[in-house]
Amino acid sequence: MSGLALIIEGEKSLEEAARRLNAFGRRDLIREMLDSVGSEIASQTQRRIEREKRSPDGEAWKPWSEQTARRRSGTQSLLFFEGHLAGSIDHEVAGDEVRVGSGLVYAAIHQFGGRAGRGRKVEIPARPYLGLSDENRDEIEAVVTDWLQEVLAA
């Protein structure tokens, strides 16, 4: 469960606390916080594609088929050929939510798996890269906590 607690220490008045809490009702501040969260999630997703090679739940991605592995060079890895997928990960704030993903046509087949290629002959296993691990959630919580501290200190 998530929550927010405001602790008033020292000589701060209830009026000052109310002023600070009212700042959270400002749409621009909420949008700013969501933008920070979206940026963090996009960065986490890029890291997962470039280095971690695991789904958000910690499961290692299925390796390439032997045929695919023979065609790849030593600098290429699962979901990271020239960096297009990782580089395409972006976020947008829409209302009270943030969306993270890729606009690349082939992004979905890597996330969900399926058949690809001419005549749909090639079976591509799902290699989920979108989502949140427990560590990701902790990092996002830290981003939100830092943001809240900045707003409350203003």
The alpha-carbon radius of gyration of the chain (Å, integer) is 21
- CA 137, 138, 143, 147 dihedral sign is positive
Q: Which residue shows structure tokens 């960065």?
A: 43
pLDDT for res 12: 52
The encoded tokens of residue 67 equal 């045929």
Decide if 1 is inside a domain: no
Decide if 127 is inside a domain: yes
pLDDT for res 91: 97
pTM of the model: 0.80
Decide if 5 is inside a domain: no
Mean pLDDT across 4-33: 62
CA 130 to CA 51: how far, in whole Å? 14
Decide if 134 is inside a domain: yes
Domain carrying residue 42: 14-153
Phi then psi for residue 26, to 5 deg, are -75, 125
Decide if 79 is inside a domain: yes
8 Å CB contact between 17 and 10: no
Decide if 67 is inside a domain: yes
Burial of 102 (C-beta count, 10 Å sphere; 0-12/13-18/19+): buried
pLDDT band at 89 (very low <50, low <70, confident <90, very high): very high
Which of 55, 64, 69 is CA-nearest to residue 111?
Answer: 55
CA 36 to CA 75: how far, in whole Å? 32
pLDDT band at 4 (very low <50, low <70, confident <90, very high): very low
Q: How many domains does the chain have?
A: 1
